[in-house]
Structure 1
């Protein structure tokens, strides 16, 4: 792929804009030598205004999603892309959420432009453990752990019972729930089935991957070892 197209696909600008940057001498190698758009050079050795380019396709981002942000590129209001460099939403292939957290849920959210990896993570066959912490409107009844672990709970409008899930009681109104699937608003609907209501929800871990100290709104790019942690743990 030509260098000009590569830079444009990373979301920095249109091809016309990037072509102008080459003419203006803004694109160079690691030694400061100006490059032309047909230069044959590893993307890792390219600099734009002296700064390295973003990672090529295959990028995986870990974001600590705050409450109040939507996992969308178009919805009104605050979007998760507002928390990332502006160019990220224009990458080609698209940098997409790996599953979703609703507007009122915080915590660990992955994004990637690797379609194969995305589908590998969200595939029902993967059964990757996802750990949530829920605050509840009412005290737990005491039978929720057995019900959620039974594999027989059928949610409204569903035809297939939920897979067994593990519940750990933290306080009378706080619990940690581990799921191995990802149905629509699943945690909220599970507690609703017991007559309770989730007032706050946070995803703390996916597989063995945690937020690792990221504050709400912060993000970092993952390396291969980080990605493998998604498929580890239980």
Structure 2
């Protein structure tokens, strides 16, 4: 079991000194018992602060609807970041939250947010083959022959030595399609269409693994249950 001050600090409630002051003020309980020693061992699930359960004490997983114009980076200078849309306390967690599966500035859609390294690896490892669905709008009428081309597993991207894995393309209108991928190369959707002579005008990710956006509005986030085995 963790020390109380280490637990609260790791969840973003303040520095070790700040959370020690919180404890000494009698604001932290385990059940009906007021906890008075910052260094005492506790079970995270039993601890409350100001009467509320601790937020995601065993690790955080959330889904964000990334709007256009935001970047998936912690660095300044590239424009507004997705982390500005999230609670400030999450940035103070140790480790701080990060995104799973980046989207570029001109792409909207589903991003997973977590502070659990094993989850990042699970979903981004080249061997993971996590299903992702993208809604695509292109600059000219789509050719039905693209369905077989993308499904062939033979599409080559400029500068790469291995072809893309087979992908499922569903043409939904003359200029729109849904593309299902099992990998996540750099700007893959845009590059796949470009390799066949089409320019992607709009791009939106509607699904990532088992998760879909549903009615989640752009800029909004939603907490998710942790997988049974985050590792």
TM-score (norm 1): 0.89
Written as runs of structure 1 = structure 2, the 5 A alignment for 1:218-229 is 218-224=220-226, 227=227
RMSD: 1.8
Do the aligned partners of 1:70 and 1:79 also contact (CA within 8 Å) in 2? yes
- Which deviates more, 150-159 or 27-36? 27-36
Shift of 1:30: 4.3
**Contact in 2 for aligned 1:67/1:103 (Cα 8 Å):** yes
Indicate conservation of the 8 Å contact 1:57/1:113, yes or no. Answer: no
Structure-to-structure mapping, 1:82-231, within 5 angstroms: 82-224=84-226, 227=227
Structure 1: give runs of 5+ residues left out of the alignment: 229-234
In structure 2, the CA distance between the partners of 1:57 and 1:44, relative to structure 1 (3 Å rule), is closer
Q: Which moved more, 1:158-167 or 1:19-28?
A: 19-28
Return the offset for 1:12.
2.0
Correspondence list, 1:43-62, <5 A: 43-62=44-63
Q: Which moved more, 1:18-27 or 1:82-91?
A: 18-27
SS at match of 2:172: strand
Give the superposition deviation at 1:31: 3.5
Query: TM (normalized to structure 2)?
Result: 0.90
CA contact (8 A) 1:29 1:35 kept: no
Q: Distance in 2 between matches of 1:114 and 1:79?
A: 20
- Point out where structure 2 has 5 or more consecutive residues left out of the alignment: none
Write the distance in 2 (CA, Å) between the matches of 1:208 and 1:115: 19
Q: How many residues align structurally?
A: 226
List structure 1 segments (4+ residues) > 6 angstroms apart after TM superposition: none
Contact 2:27 2:34 in 1 (8 A): no
Q: In 2, are the aligned partners of 1:100 and 1:109 still within 8 Å (CA)?
A: yes
